[in-house]
Structure 1
Amino acid sequence: MPGLPPNAYALLGLLVFDANSSESGGMTGYELKQRADFTLRYYWVSPAMSQIYSELRRLATEGYVAEVAGEGATRYRVTPGGAEALQSWLFEGEVGFPILKHPVALRLLMGRLSTPEHLQGMLGEHLDDLAERRADLQGVRDMLGDDHARRYAALVADWGLAYYDSETRIVTDLRERLESMD
């Protein structure tokens, strides 16, 4: 199994989904970035444009993607070897445990250097951000509907919605606890 970084597998997955489209002529790096921003951002860090192009170069060198001839920007398609590498990663790769990088939690950890009012404001802003992200994701979930071909994406969207609901409950509780600490 190839030792690719998770972003490479994410791009292969996006290209595999695109390959299943009847009108697919491959995707440009820009189109992959747009698709990543629309889909990955709810549960994975969407790669920067520079990361996308460096991963596409790596994947092309490894034979996992091929450039599609045409006019304009370079388009990429997943190769059979790329689809096989993605399958190997899905079935044989170690899943790993998620790494929580939470800037709000990090700042709260250092709360004794701040003020209760500032921390309350920070947590309040985080609640607003959660509500906005949840509404965005609800729109995606509504768009996915109950289409059998999109059932796994719908499961992930449902997971994300439950995550936002849980995070909202946690932060609301933290604000109440912070208030009682005054």
Structure 2
Amino acid sequence: MPGLPATSWAVLGLLSYGEELSGYDLKKWSDWSLRFFYWSPSFSQIYGELKRLEKAGFATSRMVAQETGTRDKRVYRITDEGMTAVRTWARTAPVDPPVLKHGPMLRLWLGHLLEPEQMREVLGKHREFAESMRRRAEADVSGAESEEAWKYPMLTLKWAERYYASERDLADAMLADIEELEARGRSEAPEPGTRP
């Protein structure tokens, strides 16, 4: 297997659905799918990966004329070699375990340095974010159901919907745990005027 970074394989995977796509299209598709479970590369990263894939012979490009007054656009298509490579990578490359990089959890870990209200605010914002992502994934599931080629990406969107629902529920559970810690602290506090 060629030593391509995972982002190259993700971009090549987007092209594997058989359509000619511009860099702009690839960014939209990654925002609709990859961002829920991997990440959505920036435009500059997408164009850099497309150059790498063309150099490796895994993609080709051509210019397509646009309406009068607008620039022509470059569209990309996967090659037979690219399809073979991404299929081989998907079937044989080791699957890396997910790496958890969780900002709210880091803040919770440092909760002794925050006021309880600050910690509740961090968890409340995380809950809102998780619910927002869950709703977006749910909406994208319904949009992907009509496309036969998107049956497996639709399953990843369902996974994302369930994942963000669990993140929302975990934030609720952590908020309840903070309340419990505070209640326990109040009940264990010495009465005013008495020695600890």
TM-score w.r.t. the length of structure 2 is: 0.84
Question: Pairwise mapping of residues 37-48 of structure 1 onto structure 2 (< 5 A)?
Answer: 37-48=31-42
String of CA shifts for 1:73-120, please: whole Å, max 9, x gaps: 221111111111101101110111011111111222211111110000
How many residue pairs get aligned? The number is 176
SS at 2:77 equivalent = strand
Deviation at 1:150, TM superposition (A): 2.9
Q: Which contiguous aligned blocks of 4+ residues in structure 1 show a shift greater than 6 angstroms?
A: none
Structure label with greater radius of gyration? 2
Residues 1:180 and 1:42: Cα distance change in structure 2 (over 3 Å): same
RMSD: 1.5
Question: Pairwise mapping of residues 20-39 of structure 1 onto structure 2 (< 5 A)?
Answer: 24=19, 26-39=20-33
Q: Which has the higher helix share?
A: 1
Counterpart residue number, 1:164? 164
Structure 1 alignment gaps of length 5 or more: none
Deviation at 1:31, TM superposition (A): 1.4
String of CA shifts for 1:37-74, please: whole Å, max 9, x gaps: 11111111100111111111111111111112433122
SS at 2:3 equivalent = coil
Deviation at 1:151, TM superposition (A): 2.3
SS at 1:68 equivalent = strand
Q: Which stretch of structure 1 is more off in the superposition, 54-63 or 157-166? A: 157-166
TM-score w.r.t. the length of structure 1 is: 0.90
* Contact 2:21–2:76 under 8 Å retained in 1: yes
SS at 2:61 equivalent = strand
Counterpart residue number, 1:64? 58
* Contact 2:63–2:73 under 8 Å retained in 1: no
SS at 2:76 equivalent = strand
Counterpart residue number, 2:145? 145
Counterpart residue number, 1:2? 2
